[in-house]
Amino acid sequence: MNAEELKKLVRNVPDFPNEGIMFKDLTTVFIRHDCLEWISEELYNLYKDCGITKIVGIESRGFIMAANLAIKLNAGFVPVRKKGKLPAKCREITYQKEYGKDTIQIHMDALNEDDVVLIHDDLLATGGTMAAAVNLVKKFNVKKIYVNFIAELDYLKGRSNFDNNIEVTSLIHY
């Protein structure tokens, strides 16, 4: 398995979630053990020497590899979820998405100033959700933030949402 092979396995779904959108569906990758193994090893190799203490996964497809990577890096896993899905006291942020406003939350006790955080999601499109997650994590005054995606739609320029001091990586690019 390599990046080009993985890229070919991502399914294109026209007009989802809205007309005119060509959705990149990574579930065709997630159903294959060889793909999961390759992604897992690539992510581990990218971050094994970064001192990561917490992996933040974005609901819901970001949970898939974030939890796996947390295990491999001996780090904790922290879910970022839509409003109302976490049971304890939360910090939250409301942001503008391509299709309207949304609010995401994280537990108040999930992170602290000693943490080095990797925030993971499956795909970078316009970057609104991840930018909101980064801003939410910044409220905890963590030591460092890394951002990672499996796939990135370069033509949408989602990277422009992140400060220069945040390292952004993606395994495959469109």
Q: Is 41 annotated in the active site?
A: no
Catalytic pick from 11, 42, 61, 113? 61
Looking at the chain, how many residues does it have? 174
Q: Residue 67 class from Cβ within 10 Å (0-12 exposed, 13-18 middle, 19+ buried)?
A: middle
57 burial (CB, 10 Å; 0-12 / 13-18 / 19+) is buried
Give catalytic status of residue 98 as yes or no.
yes
Collect contacts of 101-109 with beta carbons under 8 A, ≥24 apart: 102/129, 102/132, 104/58, 104/59, 104/80, 104/129, 104/132, 104/133, 104/136, 105/80, 105/81, 105/136, 106/56, 106/78, 106/79, 106/80, 106/81, 106/136, 106/137, 107/78
Using the 8-state DSSP alphabet, how is residue 26 labeled? T
The catalytic residue among 98, 113, 159, 167 is 98
8 A C-beta contact, residue 119 and residue 147 = yes
Task: Name the residues annotated as catalytic.
Answer: 61, 98
